[in-house]
């Protein structure tokens, strides 16, 4: 346990700045995109209709931008499941997410995500961690970068 300006920090700061490669790819499917778009209430035809997406120049339906948070979550979850990391995911909530895209995610993508814990501290007695998740295609081309900040008890 380390002290920080907000109080004692349960997070293991030895993870800070280290690069963690994704253990397995995330397969983007039409069904996953459709379910996500429906869950967030987005009727955009680019997310639902392959013909519309192809007419717009995409290889298949594209995902809503915040779908990249799902892909990133699969990667940083490996750290949250590590008891040595020091954060109990059952009490964690998203505080902030920021996205930078090189291109939209689309059905058929096989995405690999590398994660780096960039910051750790406490705020109002809660541990806070920020992850940088770099999402790449199967050809290792950059697709998106997702910054995710979690708060936990």
Domain segments of the chain as ranges: 2-152
pLDDT tens-digit map of 3-40: 445 556 789 999 999 999 988 999 999 999 999 999 99
pTM of the shown model: 0.89
Three-state SS at 105: coil
Q: Where are the alpha helices (DSSP H) in 81-116?
A: none
Diameter over CA atoms, the chain: 55
Among all chains, which residue has been given the structure tokens 């998106």?
144
Quote the CA–CA distance of 132 and 29 in Å, as a whole number: 24
Model pLDDT, residue 1: 42
We find that the CATH architecture of domain 2-152 is Roll (3.10)
Residue 137 exposed, middle or buried by CB count within 10 Å (0-12, 13-18, 19+): middle
pLDDT tens-digit map of 49-98: 999 999 999 999 999 999 999 999 999 999 999 999 999 888 899 999 99
pLDDT tens-digit map of 131-150: 999 999 999 999 999 999 99
């Amino acid at each position: 346990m380390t002290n920080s300006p907000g109080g004692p920090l349960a997070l293991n700061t030895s993870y800070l700045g280290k690069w963690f490669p994704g253990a397995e790819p995330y397969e983007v499917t039409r069904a996953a995109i459709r379910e996500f778009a429906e869950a967030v209430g987005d009727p955009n035809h680019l997310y639902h209709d392959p013909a519309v997406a192809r007419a717009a120049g995409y290889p298949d339906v594209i995902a809503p931008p915040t779908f990249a948070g799902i892909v990133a979550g699969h990667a940083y979850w490996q750290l949250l499941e590590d008891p040595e990391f020091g954060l109990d995911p059952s009490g964690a909530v998203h505080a902030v997410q920021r996205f930078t895209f090189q291109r939209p995610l689309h059905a058929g993508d096989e995405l690999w995500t590398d994660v780096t814990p960039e910051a750790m501290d406490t705020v109002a007695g809660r541990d806070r961690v920020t992850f940088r998740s770099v999402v790449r295609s199967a050809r290792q081309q950059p697709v998106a970068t997702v910054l995710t900040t979690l708060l936990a008890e």
